[in-house]
Amino acid sequence: MSTENWQNQAAETQHNSEGQQYLSFVLDAEEYGIDILRVQELRGWTPVTPVPDMPEYIKGVLNLRGAIVPVVDLRKRFGLPEKDYGPTTVVIVIKVDSGTKERIMGIIVDAVAETYTLTQDQIQPPPQIGGGISSEFITGLVAQEEKMIVLMDIDELMNSDELAIDVPALSNAK
Amino acid sequence: MSIDLSQFIATFLEESYEGIDVMENSLLSLEADDDEAINVIFRAAHSIKGGAGTFGFNEVADFTHVVETLLDEVRSGQQNVTPDLINLLLESVDCIKGLLEATQDGPQADLQQIEDVKQRLQVYIVAHDGADDASEENTEDSAGTEDQSWEIHFSAESEILENGHEPALMFSALADLGTLSVTAELDALPALSECDPQLLYLSWSLNCQSDCPKSEIAEVFEWVEDECRLVINKIVSQKAHSRNWQISFAPQSDVLNTGNDPALMFIALAELGDLKVVANTDKLLSLHEHIADALHISWQLSLNADCEKQQIADIFEWVEDLCELQISELSATDKQQNNAVDAKDTSAGTADNKKADGDKAKARSSKAAESTSIRVDTDKIDSLINRVGELVITQAMLGQVGDDLSDIAGVNTERLQEGLEQLERNTRDLQEDVMRVRMLPVSFVFNRFPRLVHDVSGKLSKKVELIISGEQTEIDKTVMEKIGDPMVHLVRNSLDHGLEEPAQRIAAGKPETGTLKLDAYHQGGFVVIDIIDDGNGLNTEKIRAKAIEKELITQDQQLSDDEINGLIFKPGFSTADVVSDLSGRGVGLDVVMRNIESLGGQVSVKSEPGKGSAFSIKLPLTLAILEGQLVRVHEDTYVIPLVSIVETIVINKEGKNPIAGEEKLLHFRDEYISHLDLKKLFNLPGADSAAGSDTTLVAIVENAGKKVGLVVDELYGQQQVVIKSLEVNFKRIEGLSGATILGDGSVALILDVAGLIQRGLNFEVASAVQSRNKLQNERTQGYL
């Protein structure tokens, strides 16, 4: 994305107050967007402490200035092919609404791409059958310059399966 | 009044509950002639009454007033302290508590019971007084059908306006009580040119025609009572007889230095009636010895006036600490003062005097307390503790950087290291100090037991002596809050099932009165609370039988007595039909154990048949920090709470006893214990390779009397770690009690031994199922 584009987007924000800003990131050559207000910070990849007996996609926990924050590898979460973590690998620290409380969690993505300001009418409804990720986590699709951006519902995603607060004790039988 | 009082209600309630605790404790230790204890109770009741009136909790105020009246009679020696009286007062305390709770959305107070207690209190008061004046006093005080008026003299300090008090508002509050006429006294008014608009030069005489009790009038002035001179007199229609007062007034020699002038007092007295003054000059020094400001004269005054004792006392109010003052009424005349109203006034007057004394004493002591303690929201302290925790981690991080730099010689490196050492010391001290802020003496929990023991033993008609020791041992507030209920349960348990009835005890050759001992002390980084009774002890046979019935153990299982006794903490042991035998309230000891373990503590029981049982609770000093043993499992560092570790040992192949081809048991000090391979349990790689090696490193841990060996790869150091919750941003994970941050900034997980054992059991079951399935599959495939 060019600076010009960013400026266009910024200008658009001013013109369209109803627009919502999204941060997009790259995952296996696809671009996904999440509500930018949910993003607390971006961190480079540093090794995390694995938590025993968790599904593979929960990489572990990291120390975020004293808070213990779980980190999820989105590639693994969606069953995408593995890729070594490199200099562009980013942990996006997000605020997740978990019903009774807000949790701080991290997601590992290939790289951060852009920010967009999108209005409601630019967003198309999610398809019945998704691509890389399950359609239940998709809130909509947006076409931007011949690219498709998948908007993700992070609350749905980060409260699913073993990430949910009250999961009955995991079966230890493996 | 225009002040929004609601913001003070919480404080009032908090103080009242404290007051109630004080009353309860003092009542329980109350013996005849213990003036100080009675005073303490009286003061607490008085404060509650005053506060309740201010905040409009009239039921509380009314009820407490009756209690106070009785207490006052006790204080003045008119009532004897009997067990009955104490019980009645204890019930009254419960009523006050109930009424207070009812004001805060609590359950509705039991009005029937309150009325009942109130009646009994009044019976006491009346029974003593014999005369009808007491009942009249009550009807008068509460109903107040008579016409009466109050004369109020109010002169305030000149700065009172700056403090935000507005006499006009007080007067309008008075006007709400009845018909009010106000006369301002202008004597002190300076010339207009000298007037400071911020200061008050006026004083007032007010006449309020109202049938309200005196306390209601006093309440109007409650906020300024420290800053004004207030005289409230009841004007009764009957002209009272002139009374003779004998006053002996011996001020200290430095009274003049305090700005008090006896001459002015005498003038004030003279305003009340005929005054005769006789100076006593015995102590007067010869002229050359005389010091200008010292006073060596005392006086005998006789006053013939229609006034109350209180009015006289009021005049000496400012010097009462600085003098010996005796005010007595000469009874020669007017002995026939049996007018009920007058009599009431006199007693009210003296009562008020006493009240004033009590209040002053309290104000003094609370002032002293104020300078040494403040109330702080625990949230603020917790965030402070968190912040310090961060600082400790940062300090550790910097320390490591410093160590890494130590190869590089240079002046700056040295200075850096010196600085880092200082930082470490200071951080450690800071952390200890901050932790101590949260510590409270365990007496906060122990205090409730005298009452509990009194009540329960009364109900069970057992004689019990409660011995409390070590109540000054300090413990974290959070731990304290959570330890109360389990302790109540254990104490009740001891009273109910441990201690026998007097007859039984005598038959067993024991003293009739049983003893229940509560003891608290420090042991290492822990606080131990012992609950010891000299009762019958646990019935080991019965427990064993019950455990077999509940299938907790098998018929042929050989267990030591201690192990059998430990079974009473098992969930499922306390079921309905066991309740009558061992518990009684449907809450099992397993709940006690769970609560204590959730605090990172342990509970154990020792019992000797016929001699008694001893429950021992071991608690961490704080929930925020844990003494941990750092261990390596695979590539990661884990923390095992030091409290759980019995021993760490290296065992070689011979130490392992294969059972059915699998090495599951360890031989450890004449015991066989099962072991858990953490790598296997956590599904970490390399689990199988360890099994093949010759030696294994095992940390023997204990929980609920059950020992398990945890197989680890390496032992690191022991250190204090700051406990971080995994639940805040993630969730509870079985087998882990939290996480901590190590010196290098990485996260280490803290193992929860109880959870691990549970998890280990599941694991065993699961792998058994799995291997059987595997076998099954192989067979099926073989058939195919």
Which ipTM value was assigned to this complex? 0.81
Whether the Cβ atoms of residue A30 and residue A132 lie closer than 8 Å to each other:
yes
Is A68 within 8 Å of B739 when comparing Cβ atoms? yes
Closest Cα in chain A to B761: A172
The tokens describing B459, both together, are 């109900």
**Continuous segment of H or E residues that includes residue B246:** strand B243-251
Q: How far is CA B679 from the centre of its chain?
A: 46
Q: What is the pLDDT of residue B765?
A: 65
Q: How far is CA B275 from CA B77, B244, B272, B646, in A?
A: 32, 10, 8, 85
Q: What is the pLDDT of residue B349?
A: 44
Give B706's strand partners: B703
H-assigned helices in B508-550: 540-549
The tokens describing A96, both together, are 């997740």
Of B729, B746, B769, which is closest to A103 when you measure between CB atoms? B729
* Residue among B148, B125, B297, B172 at smallest CA distance from B237: B148
The tokens describing B269, both together, are 């007295």
**Continuous segment of H or E residues that includes residue B604:** strand B602-608
Residues on chain B touching A169 (C-beta within 8 angstroms): 734
* Residue among B110, B101, B85 at smallest CA distance from B17: B101
* Residue environment code for A82-121, b if the CB has 16+ CB neighbours within 10 A, otherwise e: eeebeeebbbbbbbbebeeeebbbbbbbbeebbbbbbeee
Mean pLDDT of A135-158: 86
Q: A38 phi and psi, to 5 degrees?
A: -85, -10
* Residue among B548, B555, B557, B546 at smallest CA distance from B589: B546
Task: Read off the pTM.
Answer: 0.51
Place of tokens 């590089």: B408
Q: What is the pLDDT of residue B637?
A: 92
Is A49 within 8 Å of B749 when comparing Cβ atoms? yes
CA distance to partner chain B, nearest, from residue A85 (Å): 19
Q: Which site among B394, B747, B771 would you substitute to test the A interface, given the most A Cβ atoms closer than 10 Å to its Cβ?
A: B747
Whether the Cβ atoms of residue B467 and residue B453 lie closer than 8 Å to each other:
no
Burial class (CB within 10 angstroms; exposed 0-12, middle 13-18, buried 19+) of B216:
buried
Closest Cα in chain B to A106: B729
Q: What is the pLDDT of residue B347?
A: 44
In angstroms, the CA B137 to CA B143 distance is: 10
Q: Higher confidence at residue B719 or residue A63?
A: A63
A35 has a pLDDT exceeding 90: yes
Whether the Cβ atoms of residue B518 and residue B587 lie closer than 8 Å to each other:
no
The tokens describing B740, both together, are 């901590």
Confidence of residue A106 (pLDDT cuts 50, 70, 90): very high
Degrees (nearest 5) of the Cα angle B234, B240, B244?
Answer: 105
Residues on chain A touching B733 (C-beta within 8 angstroms): 51
Q: What is the pLDDT of residue B428?
A: 83
Residue A55 corresponds to which amino acid? P
* Residue among B23, B26, B8 at smallest CA distance from B96: B23
Q: What is the pLDDT of residue A13?
A: 46
* Residue environment code for B290-329, b if the CB has 16+ CB neighbours within 10 A, otherwise e: eeeeebeebbebebbbebbbbbbbbbbebbeebbebebeb
Degrees (nearest 5) of the Cα angle A101, B385, A38?
Answer: 30
Low-confidence ranges of chain B (pLDDT < 70): 1-7, 31-33, 105-107, 127-147, 236-242, 285-293, 331-372, 524-525, 572-588, 653-665, 686-694, 704-705, 763-784
Give the side-chain half-sphere CA count within 13 A for A93.
18
Q: How far is CA B670 from the centre of its chain?
A: 46
CA distance to partner chain A, nearest, from residue B681 (Å): 8
Helices and strands (DSSP H and E) totals, chain B: 24, 26
CA distance to partner chain B, nearest, from residue A49 (Å): 6
Is B636 within 8 Å of A49 when comparing Cβ atoms? yes
